[in-house]
Structure 1
Amino acid sequence: MKIQLVVNPSAGKGRAQALLPQVAAILRDSGHQVGILLSRDFDEARQMTREVAEAGEDVLAVMGGDGIMHLGINACAGHPSTALGLIPAGTGNDLARGVGLDPRDPVAAARVIAAGRSRRIDLAQVADRFIGTVVATGFDALVNRRANQMPWPKGSLRYPLATLAELRVFSPLSYRLVIDDTVRELEAMLVAVGNTSCYGGGMQICPRADPTDGLLDVTIIHPVGRLKLLRLLPSMYSGRFARDACVEQLRARQVRVEGPGLVGFGDGELIGAAPLTVTSVPAAITVLVPDTSGTPLPGVPHWGPP
């Protein structure tokens, strides 16, 4: 294979750059042609990933966090001849989790790419953007926005601190949902629409999501007190929160989210203000994955919080 590896060298507080020689050696020692592109910022990484996919290379591999993986899926979505390889080296690594990779092991992910096993997976689409993981629109989206604005601390510690800060001022949000052909008006703490199961560094907000079934998983947390929501948060890492009576789970091909003041984040990136229409795009891209011997992707191990 001809592999072009686009790297965010600052990902994981420099972990990506430190592990790059080992990752590159694994790919090259497997007999593949490997090119390495180091990005200086998000815009440059976007341009690099687009150019690799447009050139029709065999594999676009991306190394870093969910931001660069978001760019990778959007580059490959319009170019089916280019497969996507994922090397998790950031703080969240949720797309890597969703396709069965160990989010803590970039070296193992490089071996997966070298082995060349591939699988078609679905994506979620919002306007002209493709999402690999989850579209967040409620309390979770506000936490994401607050975390992105925090200059300190760096890494995954931002999210628990942003959660506590947001919880102090949060109240239920008004939603109008169109779930396939069904209209619902309700108040909720959050409505999450998932292609894969995790966001926020391993929180299984859509624990049954399967990125090969052609459907989106919808999780609604109905209004609860702040202390109850705080108690639920730790169990999101295992998915056990979904057993609570305040949690509703659905599946759909398309979900439209409307409501005053609602904002959407997908793959941790800002999508924009509501209204947002999220549509499942079945078998949208080819991804290099571990050998799962035909088992469904939701059966991958849960690696827990970073």
Structure 2
Amino acid sequence: MYIFIVNVHAGEGKGKKVFEKLKKDKSYNLLESRTFFTEYEGHATALAAQVAKSFGNRITCIVIVGGDGTLHEVMNGVKKYPDVKIAFIPAGSGNDFARGCKLPKKKQKLLFNQIVQYPSWKPYWFGQALKDKSTNKAVLFANSIGFGFDAEVAKRANEAVYKRILNKWNFGTLSYTLALLQVLFSFTTKEMDVIADGQKKSFKKAWMVTITNHPYFGGGMKIVPLARINGDYFYVLVLDNIPRWKVLLLFITVFFGKHTSLKEVHLFKAKHIDIHIKSGSKYQVDGHTGFCHSCSIRKENISRQINRF
């Protein structure tokens, strides 16, 4: 049985358009399937948990039609069900997971037929983040988790009216760029300790710390160009003690992956990372934002089967 979880509001209605096309495909009508539509933020998590519990090993896979946020919710819903396979049909504004997994972002109907006829199941190791240990449950993430500037830009972009307008015209990446320019001149650097596999690194004027599974964030920016999906470690980028004008230069070059040559950019790999932020900081996890003072990040011990290339 194929379970479809559809966010019709993803990408300002793109999710609905994509699913309408899929419904007209002969393969869809021949499938044994159940379709569920999300109605509010967090609903995909509840739906995924419910179907995984109810249908168990009858599930061939869960097919997600939506954006990275919908994917984030679904995988947290099936956190206790590691055998459930996940296929993703991108219909959001950023679609960084699709980029990282080399999924087509526009040929969704072709991708759907590939999922049904000859799926490419490969292991994927989600990240696990435990924020402010005493008060929060661990959250899984597919793409990245970031602290500081990255998170403040994500929050501004999520709340911006222009994001809806730009998404309708397929300029979702531009909303992140505009939010970046707004935050650039008001951002206050953070004092952070990053403990990577037991090695402590202190940063007095940190702009951002980003921990990622693959190269992309912010709707196509190659934040860590050489990152590759693997089960051994994350890729970590720290931006520290850099003048504002140079931050702008960095984000101009980040689409091409040329920013890594800047001396203020620190890159390393680690499997276990602990972040301690003096006075706290905003964070973003797969685009969802919040606030914390500390965070422990680990690779999941088990891999999940994801349709990817």
Q: How does 1:1-306 map to 2 (within 5 A)?
A: 2-26=1-25, 28=27, 32-54=31-53, 55-56=55-56, 57-114=59-116, 115-127=118-130, 128-154=138-164, 155=167, 156=172, 157-186=174-203, 187-259=205-277, 260-270=279-289, 272-290=291-309
Deviations 1:236-256 (A, max 9, x none): 122221122221110001111
TM-superposed deviation, 1:121: 0.8
Secondary structure of the 2:44 match is: helix
Letter in 2 for 1:117: S
TM-superposed deviation, 1:25: 4.4
Does the CA contact (< 8 Å) of 2:42 and 2:73 recur in 1?
no
Deviations 1:63-118 (A, max 9, x none): 11111010122233321221001010010111121112123332233133222220
Secondary structure of the 2:268 match is: strand
Secondary structure of the 1:236 match is: helix
Structure 1 residues 221 and 126, CA, compared in 2 at 3 Å: closer, same or farther?
Answer: same
- Give 5+ residue unaligned stretches, structure 2: 131-137
TM-superposed deviation, 1:21: 3.0
Deviations 1:34-55 (A, max 9, x none): 2221222223222212222223
- RMSD between superposed Cα atoms in Å: 1.9
Partner in structure 1 of residue 134 of structure 2: none
Structure 1 residues 77 and 108, CA, compared in 2 at 3 Å: closer, same or farther?
Answer: farther
So what's the TM-score if we normalise by structure 2? 0.87
2:266 & 2:6 partners in 1: Cα distance? 38
Letter in 2 for 1:38: F
Does the CA contact (< 8 Å) of 2:7 and 2:65 recur in 1?
yes
TM-superposed deviation, 1:226: 1.1
TM-superposed deviation, 1:153: 3.6
- Give 5+ residue unaligned stretches, structure 1: 291-306
Deviations 1:273-295 (A, max 9, x none): 120111112543110124xxxxx
Does the CA contact (< 8 Å) of 1:94 and 1:103 recur in 2?
no
More divergent stretch after superposition (273-282 vs 48-57): 48-57
Letter in 2 for 1:221: L
Does the CA contact (< 8 Å) of 1:94 and 1:133 recur in 2?
yes
Letter in 2 for 1:203: M
Structure 1 residues 46 and 226, CA, compared in 2 at 3 Å: closer, same or farther?
Answer: same
Number of residue equivalences: 289
Does the CA contact (< 8 Å) of 1:178 and 1:255 recur in 2?
yes
Structure 1 residues 243 and 112, CA, compared in 2 at 3 Å: closer, same or farther?
Answer: farther
Runs of 4+ residues deviating >3 angstroms: 24-27, 29-32
Secondary structure of the 1:209 match is: coil
1:26 & 1:76 partners in 2: Cα distance? 28
Letter in 1 for 2:122: R
Partner in structure 1 of residue 135 of structure 2: none
Deviations 1:197-226 (A, max 9, x none): 211111121222222242110011122111
1:86 & 1:139 partners in 2: Cα distance? 29
Does the CA contact (< 8 Å) of 1:137 and 1:262 recur in 2?
yes
More divergent stretch after superposition (122-131 vs 204-213): 204-213
Secondary structure of the 2:161 match is: coil
Does the CA contact (< 8 Å) of 1:122 and 1:285 recur in 2?
yes
Letter in 1 for 2:158: N
1:129 & 1:27 partners in 2: Cα distance? 37
